[in-house]
Each structure stands twice: as C-alpha cells, then as structure tokens.
Amino acid sequence: MSKKIYGIGTGPGDKEFLTLKAVRVMQESAVIFGPNNKGQNMAVDTAKDFIEGKRLVLIDFPMGKVTEEDYKKAAEIIEREIPEGESGAFLTIGDPMVYSTFIYIIEQMEKSHKNVDIEIVPGIPSFIAAAAQSRQVITVKDDDFLLCDDFTEDKIKNVESVAILKTSKNKEYILDSLEKNGFEYKYVKHATLPTQEILTDKEEILKDKQYISLILGKKK
C-alpha cells in the first residue's frame, strides 16, 4: 500500500481564508506536519480548529542556514511518520509553491521517496491577501509584475507593479528605490489578522520592525 503527503497552503493567517479542500484533506490525514519555529508555527495555529486531536509532527529547520541534508531528513521523517496506506499533511503559510519550505521537500521526496505520492493544495499567498486588505491593485492588462524577497533596484526598472516580501531588512533602501523610480507604495503587516496594519507614511514604515510584513508598489 502507498503513502501520500499533501502540501497544504493555509493562507495568510485568518482561518476563514482556508479552502474547503484544505480543511477536508487535513481532517482526513493521519498526521500533520509543519516546520518547527521554537515550538510555534503560524500555519498550524491557523488550522488548529480543524486538526484538533491529530498527531502533530514539527520538523526542525535551522533558521537562515538550512542545508540539503536538512531537507533530506525532513523527507525521511515524513515517510517514516505516515502510516502505510494513509496520508499526511504538511502545512505551510501562504501557498506551498511560493517561497515555501515544502518546495525543497518535494525535491527530496521525488529523488529518494518515490513510494510516497505528492499532491499540492494551494493557499492564498500573503501578497494577494495584502492587496485585497489594502485595496492595492496588483496588476492590470499589459502591466509587468514582480514578486521578490531579495530586492535590488535594478529589478523594478521594467515593471509597473511589485510585491516585496521579507522587508524587515534594507527597508530604507527599498522605499528610496521605489520613490526614485516613480512608485507609490503600501506597507502591510499581519495581513488578515486582528493585528493587521496598513501604512503609507515613510517614517512610520521605517520605524516598524515586524518580520511578517510586505510592501506593495505601483507606478504612478
């Protein structure tokens, strides 16, 4: 009998943004997986109402220094922990195919654990949720759009709109670059959560140190 692992996107944080399929698959899974962040996990917290009583396995990934060996170990844990003939669900914030740990786990599963089937259940990425919350247009016909998490000014030379993730570093450089190239911007932190804030004042944005934040920019 085969095993199956689902990569499930839990969206931006508000449980009401979970898809019906995500909820069903989690409830049908024998074990729930997620990255371990000092015993906490935003994706697991989002889904907690739907996975109560489920066996939970949090997998360690060293922050900022994850190696291929860490992903190999994660794939081994997943195969080992899923009972024969059952399925597991790996939860990730946003979408599993956008800047997700699960992308690298898939590579290892496909290399060395071919007896485990893989299926992706998409979720709402943070920048899509932030655009909705701030009523910031992402892109329109004939526009070019850039999504990045490692910003450099040259990347926006030929686009009309941009979403920049992981903005806690080099924030002043990002804002200066956007202004220099004729972009208006909005800074969104904790999109969809009760602690959500949307800022447009440059000085207020620079003062904020929240890691779970992003910047949306659109050419004037």
Q: Which tokens is 177 given?
A: 């670059």
Kindly report, residue by residue over 170-207, the tens digit of the pLDDT. 899 999 999 999 999 999 999 999 999 999 999 999 99
Three-state DSSP state, 4: strand
pLDDT at 211: 84
What is the CATH number for 192?
A: 3.30.950.10
pLDDT at 62: 78
Spatial contact of 30 and 90, defined as CB atoms under 8 Å apart? no
Single-letter code of the amino acid located at 67: T
Spatial contact of 134 and 186, defined as CB atoms under 8 Å apart? yes
The CA distance from 36 to 71, in Å, is: 13
pLDDT at 39: 65
pLDDT at 61: 87
pLDDT at 37: 76
Same domain, 154 and 94: no
pLDDT at 88: 98
Same domain, 116 and 176: no
The CA distance from 155 to 89, in Å, is: 35
pLDDT at 57: 96
* pTM of the complete model: 0.93
pLDDT at 142: 94
pLDDT at 51: 97
pLDDT at 93: 95
The CA distance from 215 to 43, in Å, is: 21
pLDDT at 123: 98
What is the CATH number for 16?
A: 3.40.1010.10
Residues of the chain with pLDDT under 50: none
Host domain of residue 79 = 3-121
Same domain, 116 and 143: no
